[in-house]
Every structure is written in structure tokens, then in C-alpha cells.
Amino acid sequence: MRYLISFFAALALVGCDKAPPMQYVQTPAPTVDPSIGSRLTAVEMKAEDLETPWLMLHPDTKEFQFYRGELPIAFSFKDIAAHADGSRITLDIGNLSSAWIMDADLTVSWGKGKLTLTEDQRGNKPIKEKLPPGRWTSVVLDLSGVKPSDFGHIRIERVNVKTISLVG
């Protein structure tokens, strides 16, 4: 009897290793909107801008803005005047850190429009003044190509701090 039960159990197990045949369903692949690539690129660029610490200042607004970089720094547009073939602007830069900023320059772009991100000019401008901790310092920048009557904005793209000191 024991052999008979073992025989039927083995027979049942042998029949279990055969899987039922697979049935494949063929469906057409969904079509992709061709404009999705350009829209994705635009979204990626906007996300990159949100991660970038740049800020934009206009001559007619005097409030300060924070630069989101390595050091806490605030900027405010103070004045604009004609100079050579362009404009001489004065920015107030507030060093919010506890260290002196001894040597730095700004990567800036500037142009005629207020709300555009396509600038007419771009370059690095040295900050000639030392920026003491906890104070505002007026810094003059000469920007070519745009007269004060046409000047719309300056975009601070990067503050390149080269030297700091804990003593002045």
C-alpha cells in the first residue's frame, strides 16, 4: 500500500513540472508626442535655474536680494550713470558672513529688457573693494554696450570668492 501511494504521488509530481503554454498578446506600442523632448528640455532648464544661485536686479527697484552661494551675500541696486559707451552702476553688497571677503569677482550679464533671460552682454567684473563682515559696501561696475536710458537689468550669476580672512 505504501508503494502504491508513493507511485501515485510521484506521478502527480511529474505532471506538475509542465507549465501551461504561454499566450502572448500583441498590442501596438503607444505613440509618443514629438514635442515631449523639447518640453522636457525646457523643464530641465527651469529646474537648473532654480538650483542656480543667480539673482536679477533692476535700476528702478531698490530692495535687496540674497545670493544663494557659498557665502551669505545680499545685493541691492543703488545707482546708474552714463560712462563711456555704456553705464556705470553702483551696487550695495552686504557681506552677511563673519569673514572679510578680500578678493572676489562677479560673473554678471546685463541687458535692456527687465524680464528676459537672454542678455546682451556678459563678463566677469572684479570687486575692487574689500567686503567687511556684517556691513554694506558700495561697489562700482562699468558695463559696456547699454546706456542708462536703455538699461533694464543686471543678473548676478556667480560670486567668485577667491580670498577670505577672519581679520581685516
79-82: long-range contacts, CB 8 A cutoff, minimum separation 24: 80/148, 80/151, 81/148, 82/147, 82/148
Whole-Å CA distances, 38 to 4, 32, 34, 87, 124 = 72, 13, 8, 37, 31
pLDDT of residue 64: 92
Note the maximum CA span of the chain. Answer: 113
* pLDDT tens for each residue of 2-47: 555 655 556 555 555 555 666 666 666 556 566 655 555 555 554 4
pLDDT of residue 52: 59
Q: Is the pLDDT of residue 102 over 90?
A: yes
Comparing 26 with 114, the larger pLDDT belongs to 114
Distance CA 60, CA 80 (A): 10
All structural domains of the chain? 54-165 (2.60.40.1620)
* pLDDT tens for each residue of 36-76: 555 555 555 544 555 557 898 999 888 999 998 889 999 99
Other C-beta atoms lying within 10 Å of the C-beta of residue 7: 10
Whole-model pTM: value is 0.67
pLDDT of residue 53: 73
pLDDT of residue 29: 58
CA 94, chain centre distance (Å): 21
Comparing 92 with 2, the larger pLDDT belongs to 92
Q: CA geometry: angle at 145 spanning 63 and 153, to 5°?
A: 20
* pLDDT tens for each residue of 132-161: 999 999 999 999 999 999 999 999 999 999
Question: For residue 147, which phi and psi values (nearest 5 degrees)?
Answer: -75, 155
